[in-house]
């Protein structure tokens, strides 16, 4: 209270206050008479209690009374609403409860000088905070309000505690080969710091020497902490399940090595691996086969991996590096543009990416004005007792329809919210508002008389329609600002530390820092991408929007290729007969990007195997993606070799069968204009073939692959 009276909260003042209060009551305990002071009826009450109750009962009753007074608001139903209610699934919430207690305990013991005592005290304090969860939240909130590098590293690298490593040994399966390697930088690098990596393989040294498929992992850690040893649970399981060599790099962390050191370091590592065809780490000793590398990363590691791929595009030359086989990401952090509101372009991508299976969840989170609290991201309207919930939510603003809500399908009736009391007019550009409303009312003569009223009515309708089109939608970083794993203050601190003191980039356009803003012409060249993310993750928008932009870029490029073929007909095909067919024409959306959104989960689940057993299924899902990517790449390479051998015969057969007809430029332009991202779900190839008839080359129809929302972790592979 002293610091409150002084008007300046101070830990030292608070410590002094605690010591003064303790000394005062200890002095009263030893100096006051045993019968109590002569104040009111204290002595009479003391004699009465001494006759009826034992000292143990008095102490127990006093503690119970204090507990009841402390939680009096709960007993009377006056407590504040719980912001985390229904935010997470039950299993993930239990995991965050333990993680929060550990973080609070480790942060509390952080200032202890002796390591042996700090390790023990960290677990002791964590046990206390397991019992008092609210105190853990409050302690962690204060630590995170002023994030320091030491605090972030201490709380995030708790897997390095020797006692925790001992108790979590069963979660780290044994493998035959695991070693730490140091590699020199490739020739031409501007850095001299050696590359540090950890290699994992479930096999023999001879199998390592014969293998040519490599999983290159860039571990996350907010750009400032954690090394491969803190990600062993998934790396070891990947090595066993994929039967491939897995390497993970301990790259330079900020603030000691700020941006772009980590990107350049991983680019140097990728260059060295390809220059030596893997021989630098003991692989592919004969060098007969080209090295195939698949990039993986979680959180910040996914950001670095994506920026590294962009750098490969920008460094294209005579000796350019081959692209990775695929990218495999978990909860990627792809944007440093921390804004509160989603721009219309991102909302459009989100609408395009959403279908009935996720629209009711991901998009409902953006429907802020349909909740009791506009900041709620879950259903916050309780159904009446004794009645089944009918999913009709209390409306806090004027009515309207969400522009991205589908009006077709079996679930559309539950999601559609129509304007009440009026009809929504959709008019062509040439019709006047007065004539339209007059026709609606059924009298031609009323148009002149009610012209002004009609115009006013039309304006009112436009305002209602525009309201539905321009409602604000929060980004996931803002919507989930109460997340127990990542707080907004931590995001800001990590961004400042990573960018460093010598950079002032435009975070909205610098796609090396924020790969989500990568230009479409680069996205169209990306290898296949596999991503998973929690539904309640503050970074979930990055996953969904990046996947949508990838699909749009690749589909636009595919449409452009088809349009050029349709415009020039067989002349283009004959002139390019000696060239390889663009593989994009033989791919569908599942070959471009695949996403999985896990319901009720947030960030960091790949490191929660001990606390969240279902996370092992997600790790297995990523491992299966890795195997699938390697097998698909091998089959595609074999198919291209076969196509290259039979290309002349196929071109001659095609020209005899289909003739030399071609579309006109006007028809081709029409075709391009009719394609919109919103309608691509019905297969853009089908719409094109319906217009161009038999003149266009046959293209196999492709299926869609929107983000998959897993209702529970048990339904994962």
Delineate the domains of the chain, giving CATH numbers in brackets. Answer: 2-75 (no CATH), 90-167 (no CATH), 176-338+485-561+592-638 (3.40.50.1820)
Asked if the model's pLDDT at residue 675 lies above 50, the reply is no
List pLDDT tens digits, range 522-536: 999 999 999 999 999
Question: Is the Cα torsion angle 358, 91, 239, 308 positive or negative in sign?
Answer: positive
pLDDT of residue 685: 40
The mean pLDDT value for 496-514 works out to: 88
Q: Under the phi-then-psi rule, with left for phi > 0, alpha for psi from -120 to 50, and beta for the rest, what region is 226?
A: left
List all residues 6 or more positions away from 227 whose beta carbon is below 8 Å from its beta carbon.
198, 219, 221, 250
pLDDT of residue 39: 78
The mean pLDDT value for 638-655 works out to: 57
- Residue 91 CA to residue 96 CA, distance in Å, equals 9
Between 355 and 1, name the one with better pLDDT.
1
CB atoms within 10 A of CB 208: 19
- Residue 180 CA to residue 198 CA, distance in Å, equals 4
- Residue 576 CA to residue 564 CA, distance in Å, equals 12
For the chain, give the percent of residues with pLDDT over 70: 69
| 245-249/213-218 β-pairing | parallel
Cβ burial 72-87 (10 Å sphere, 16+ → b, else e): eeeeeeeeeeeeeeeb
436 forms beta bridges with none
* Mean pLDDT of the residues in the chain: 77
- Residue 335 CA to residue 349 CA, distance in Å, equals 16
3-state secondary structure of 418: coil
pLDDT of residue 367: 65
Q: Per the structure block, which two tokens stand in for 602?
A: 């947030």
Taking the model in full, what pTM does it have? 0.75
Q: Which residue has the tokens 């608070």?
A: 14
- Residue 529 CA to residue 535 CA, distance in Å, equals 19
| 708-710/292-298 β-pairing | unpaired
By the 8 A CB rule, do 483 and 603 touch? yes
3-state secondary structure of 365: helix
Say what angle helices 115-131 and 90-108 make with each other, to 10 degrees: 140
Asked if the model's pLDDT at residue 676 lies above 80, the reply is no
- Residue 710 CA to residue 708 CA, distance in Å, equals 6
Q: Residue 295 is inside which H or E element, if any? A: strand 292-298
| 195-201/245-249 β-pairing | antiparallel
pLDDT tier for residue 424 given thresholds of 50, 70 and 90: very low
- Residue 673 CA to residue 558 CA, distance in Å, equals 14
List pLDDT tens digits, range 475-492: 888 888 889 999 999 999
Q: Per the structure block, which two tokens stand in for 299?
A: 């959180």
By the 8 A CB rule, do 201 and 207 touch? yes
| 327-330/213-218 β-pairing | unpaired
For the chain, give the percent of residues with pLDDT over 90: 48
CB atoms within 10 A of CB 412: 13
By the 8 A CB rule, do 570 and 707 touch? no
Helix then strand then coil, % of the chain, to nearest 5: 55, 5, 40
Q: Which residue has the tokens 């009112």?
A: 460
- Residue 305 CA to residue 267 CA, distance in Å, equals 9
Q: How many CA atoms lie within 13 A of 64 on its CB side?
A: 6
List pLDDT tens digits, range 332-354: 999 998 888 877 777 777 666 65
Question: Is the Cα torsion angle 388, 392, 396, 402 positive or negative in sign?
Answer: positive
């Amino acid at each position: 209270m002293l610091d409150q009276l002084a008007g300046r909260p101070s830990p030292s003042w608070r410590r002094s206050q605690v010591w003064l209060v303790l000394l005062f009551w200890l002095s009263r305990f030893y100096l006051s008479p045993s019968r109590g002071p002569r104040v009111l009826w204290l002595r009479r009450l003391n004699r009465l209690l001494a006759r009826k109750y034992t000292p143990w009962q008095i102490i127990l009753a006093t503690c119970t009374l204090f507990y009841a007074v402390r939680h009096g608001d709960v007993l009377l139903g006056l407590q504040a609403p719980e912001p985390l209610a229904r935010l997470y699934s039950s299993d993930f919430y239990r995991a965050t409860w333990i993680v929060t207690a550990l973080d609070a305990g480790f942060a509390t013991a952080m200032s202890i000088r002796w390591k042996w005592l700090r390790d023990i005290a960290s677990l002791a304090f964590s046990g206390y905070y397991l019992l008092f969860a609210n105190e853990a939240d409050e302690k962690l909130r204060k630590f995170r309000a002023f994030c320091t590098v030491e605090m972030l590293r201490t709380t995030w690298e708790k897997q390095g505690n020797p006692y925790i490593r001992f108790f979590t040994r069963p979660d780290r399966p044994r493998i035959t080969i695991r070693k730490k390697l140091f590699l020199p930088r490739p020739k031409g690098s501007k850095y001299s710091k050696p590359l540090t990596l950890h290699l994992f393989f479930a096999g023999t040294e001879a199998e390592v020497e014969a293998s040519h498929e490599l999983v290159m992992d860039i571990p996350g850690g907010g750009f400032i902490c954690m090394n491969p040893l803190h990600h062993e649970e998934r790396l070891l399981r990947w090595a066993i399940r994929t039967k491939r060599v897995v390497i993970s790099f301990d790259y330079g962390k900020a603030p000691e090595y700020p941006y772009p050191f980590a990107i350049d370091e991983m680019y140097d590592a990728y260059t060295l691996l390809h220059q030596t065809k893997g021989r630098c780490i003991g692989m592919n000793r004969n060098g007969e086969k080209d090295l195939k590398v698949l990039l993986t990363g979680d959180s910040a590691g996914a950001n670095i991996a994506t920026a590294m791929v962009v750098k490969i595009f920008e460094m294209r030359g005579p000796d350019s590096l081959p692209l990775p086989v695929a990218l495999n990401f978990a909860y990627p952090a792809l944007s440093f543009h921390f804004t509160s509101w989603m721009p219309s372009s991102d909302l459009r991508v989100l609408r395009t990416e959403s279908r009935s299976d996720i629209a009711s969840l991901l998009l409902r989170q953006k429907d802020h004005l349909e909740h009791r609290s506009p900041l709620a991201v879950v259903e916050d309207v309780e159904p009446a007792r004794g009645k089944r919930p009918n999913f009709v939510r209390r409306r806090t603003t004027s009515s309207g329809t969400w522009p991205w809500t589908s009006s077709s399908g079996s679930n559309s009736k539950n999601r559609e919210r129509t304007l009440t009391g009026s009809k929504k007019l959709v008019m062509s550009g040439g019709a006047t508002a007065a004539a339209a409303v007059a026709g609606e009312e059924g009298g031609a003569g009323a148009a002149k008389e009610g012209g002004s009223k009609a115009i006013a009515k039309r304006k009112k309708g436009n305002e209602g329609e525009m309201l539905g089109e321009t409602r604000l939608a929060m980004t996931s970083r803002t919507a989930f600002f109460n997340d127990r794993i990542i707080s907004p203050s931590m995001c800001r601190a990590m961004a400042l530390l990573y960018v460093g003191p010598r950079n002032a980039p435009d975070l909205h356009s610098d796609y090396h820092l924020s790969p989500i803003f990568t230009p479409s012409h680069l996205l169209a060249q990306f290898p296949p991408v596999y991503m998973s993310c929690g539904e309640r993750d503050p970074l979930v928008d990055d996953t969904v929007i990046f996947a949508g932009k990838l699909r749009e870029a690749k589909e636009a490029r595919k449409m452009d290729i088809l349009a050029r073929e349709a415009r020039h007909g067989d002349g283009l095909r004959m002139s390019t007969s000696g060239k390889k067919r663009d593989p994009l024409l033989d791919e569908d959306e599942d070959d471009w990007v695949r996403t999985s959104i896990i319901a009720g989960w947030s960030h960091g689940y790949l490191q929660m195997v001990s606390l969240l057993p279902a996370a092992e299924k997600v790790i297995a899902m990523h491992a299966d993606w890795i195997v699938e990517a390697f097998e698909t790449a091998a089959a595609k390479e074999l198919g291209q070799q076969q196509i290259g051998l039979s290309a002349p015969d196929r071109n001659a057969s095609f020209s005899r069968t289909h003739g030399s007809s071609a579309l006109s430029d006007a028809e081709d332009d029409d075709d391009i204009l009719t394609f919109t991202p919103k309608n691509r779900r019905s297969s853009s190839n089908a719409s094109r073939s319906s217009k161009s008839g038999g003149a266009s080359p046959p293209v196999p129809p492709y299926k869609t692959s929107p983000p998959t929302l897993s209702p529970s972790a048990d339904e994962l592979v």
